[in-house]
């Protein structure tokens, strides 16, 4: 089967796909199928539902190939299709309201402190709005503590409990390793809103880790 590297860029790949080349489609599945499944799981709870999302996305992509204008990469276009279909499935699961770009932007614009306000001194403190106590450094903790299965579960559980926008953005940025431009394009978010959601999510994950590592420290 052809690999993506054997095709002379996306133009050749698209031409082959539009001609019904099965090898080209197989190369596309090999290249992006796993990523599409992971993105679907960012929105829905089960692997089985994620499989349904990906199947629908492939059908939608094949039907829409002629309308693809190349304004984004083929990968981004495919993942945006996955995200849109997964939003609909998430609603069917009664898990949440739809993940529209407007709703994610609204979540980002709502005021929410990144950390509990009691971590900072109030107006009557010696140094108002500064730390009551500085975050505990982790430099003395063994690397194994940060890599343990229990710690990874804590991170995953904390991410799972985040508000939708924060959970999706941190999952794509820090779990999947996307850059900000990819996240903004797929979720149709502004850079500012994406950055706000990511900062809030990271702050909550860090706070959970800080509490765990401080408690576990000898």
- Per residue in 173-214, pLDDT (tens digit) is 998 888 999 899 888 889 999 999 999 999 889 888 887 777
Question: According to the model, what pLDDT value does residue 158 have?
Answer: 93
**Cα distances (Å, whole numbers) of residue 126 to 58, 116, 120, 123, 129:** 60, 19, 11, 8, 9
The first and second tokens of residue 58, run together, are 């492939």
Q: Which residues of 101-119 are buried (b: 16+ CB within 10 A; e: fewer)?
A: eeebbebbeeeeeeeeeee
Which pTM does this prediction carry? 0.65
**If you average pLDDT over each of 101-115, 126-140, 170-184, which comes out highest?**
170-184
> Looking at the predicted structure, is the pLDDT value of residue 97 above 50?
no
pLDDT band at 55 (very low <50, low <70, confident <90, very high): very high
Q: What is the pLDDT of residue 1?
A: 41
Which of 29-38, 87-96, 124-133 has the least mean pLDDT?
124-133
Distance between CA atoms of residues 142 and 85, nearest Å: 42
Q: What percent of the chain has pLDDT over 90?
A: 20
**What pLDDT does 217 receive?**
47
Q: What is the mean pLDDT of the chain?
A: 77
Q: What is the Cα–Cα distance from 4 to 136, expressed in whole angstroms? A: 47
* pLDDT for residue 151 is more than 80: yes
Report percent pLDDT > 70 for the chain.
69
52 against 142, higher pLDDT:
52
DSSP per position, 41-61: HHHSS-HHHHHHHHHHHHHHH
Instruction: Tell me what pLDDT residue 56 has.
Output: 96
CA distance 158 to 166: 11
Position 50 scores a pLDDT of 92
Q: Please tell me the distance from the alpha carbon of residue 149 to that of residue 158, in angstroms, as a whole number.
A: 14
């Amino acid at each position: 089967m052809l690999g993506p590297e054997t095709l002379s860029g996306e133009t050749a790949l698209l031409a082959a796909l539009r001609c019904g080349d099965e090898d080209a489609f197989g190369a596309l599945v090999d290249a992006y199928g796993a990523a599409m499944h992971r993105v679907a799981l960012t929105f829905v709870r089960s692997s089985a539902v994620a499989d349904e999302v990906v199947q629908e996305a492939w059908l939608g992509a094949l039907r829409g190939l002629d309308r693809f204008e190349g304004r984004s990469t083929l990968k981004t276009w495919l993942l945006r299709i996955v995200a849109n279909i997964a939003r609909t499935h998430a609603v069917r699961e009664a898990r949440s309201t739809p993940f529209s770009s407007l709703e994610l932007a609204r979540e980002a614009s709502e005021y929410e402190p990144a950390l509990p306000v009691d971590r900072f001194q109030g107006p009557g403190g010696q140094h108002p709005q500064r730390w009551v106590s500085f975050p505990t450094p982790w430099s003395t903790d063994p690397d194994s503590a940060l890599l343990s299965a229990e710690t990874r579960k804590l991170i995953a559980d904390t991410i799972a409990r985040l508000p939708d926008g924060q959970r999706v953005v941190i999952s794509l940025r820090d779990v999947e390793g996307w850059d900000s431009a990819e996240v903004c394009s797929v979720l149709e978010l502004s850079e500012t809103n994406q950055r706000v959601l990511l900062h809030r999510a990271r702050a909550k994950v860090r706070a959970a880790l800080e509490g765990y590592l401080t408690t576990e420290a000898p």
